[in-house]
Structure 1
């Protein structure tokens, strides 16, 4: 069955950035989520236009001034198999690592030495992963400095999550007062689900279907 090719959306206009703050209209919120995501991630094979420098600068200035909360709220409403939904998952992982850098790094090393690692990922491939380098590159997405192939990065990200899931350490408990204790971080199987979502997004991106 042939997948329906999504329409090519217009790049976000400067005035549309106003919707990043508390926009109530679902359609406008969805448009803002998608178009803001396209400013930060280049399109495969020109599926959408690159933003003009002024528009990109306005978004980055907004993020620098207001932080990522408003944008994250918009992205969180998007399905997993969309560009903003994918970026929301990466942002959540990034925030988790910013708050608990030593704990996550320790968890990754424990995953590499776990006797159950082979249940989560090819062991030989796992030991070629550069966690530190990947971690730094993850942080460039919200600064507009991400330049590499997004599909390759998503596949690397899902592999990292699989190693983290193999850790023997006790997982974060569900806690409504902790914004990081959510579906991505509370259980090893949740990390595996997110890994699968990122893997699917990588495939869609290569096909020009991650809209």
Structure 2
């Protein structure tokens, strides 16, 4: 199938909690499909390391603003929705790398599964290690097994959810508002983990839109 390279005019998105929709769902979904598949096909087909690094770097630069509104409204049934969730994870970590590292360490301590191993953060888990992990996941999308990269991201989300829940428990007796916010964050990470895991299944069975 031939895919045209379309560049929509979009608005920026900065926050983890804001995933928006579109008033023209059909047109937005079509454009999201075209842009996401064109990006994936072009980068994976070229295998140019410099291009890969530029695409990975979208999460930490202004380039993310160009795709945020369109992709943010897509579900994990679509490639656009899956890619948006991965870029969102990277942007959130970049916004507070020290906090993300602390949250991940707490999640590792609380985990009773192999998720920390699958996520694969370097030891010791520093702020730099978390950023590098998110970048490695994105590189895996464009240079390796996309399904494996998504499973790794899902494990990362589950560890982060545990870490946020642990922080919420620790803050509960001292700051109800912060504890509630952390509990919400844990739920959102958990939901993202489920959605990305579902995206991995759809990629493998050929039903990712």
Equivalent of residue 74 in structure 1, options 57, 60, 70: 70
1:146/1:50 Cα in 2 relative to 1: closer, same or farther (>3 Å)? closer
Q: Does 1:208 align with 2:206?
A: yes
Q: Secondary structure at the match of 1:79?
A: coil
Q: 1:160: which partner in 2?
A: 156
Q: 1:126: which partner in 2?
A: 116
**Alignment RMSD:** 3.8
Query: Number of aligned pairs?
Result: 172
1:27/1:185 Cα in 2 relative to 1: closer, same or farther (>3 Å)? farther
| Matches of 1:76 and 1:147, distance apart in 2 | 23
- Structure 1: gaps spanning 5 or more residues: 1-7, 44-48, 175-180
| Matches of 1:11 and 1:128, distance apart in 2 | 33
1:193/1:128 Cα in 2 relative to 1: closer, same or farther (>3 Å)? closer
Question: Is the Cα–Cα contact under 8 Å of residues 75 and 84 in structure 1 kept in the other structure?
Answer: yes
1:205/1:42 Cα in 2 relative to 1: closer, same or farther (>3 Å)? farther
Scaled by the length of structure 2, the TM-score of the pair is 0.66
Scaled by the length of structure 1, the TM-score of the pair is 0.66
Name the one with the larger helix percent: 2
- Structure 2: gaps spanning 5 or more residues: 12-21, 122-128, 172-176
- Superposition pairs of residues 126-205 of structure 1, within 5 angstroms: 126-127=116-117, 129-131=119-121, 132=129, 133-140=132-139, 146-167=142-163, 168-170=166-168, 186-205=184-203
- Measured after TM superposition, the shift of residue 126 of structure 1 is 2.5
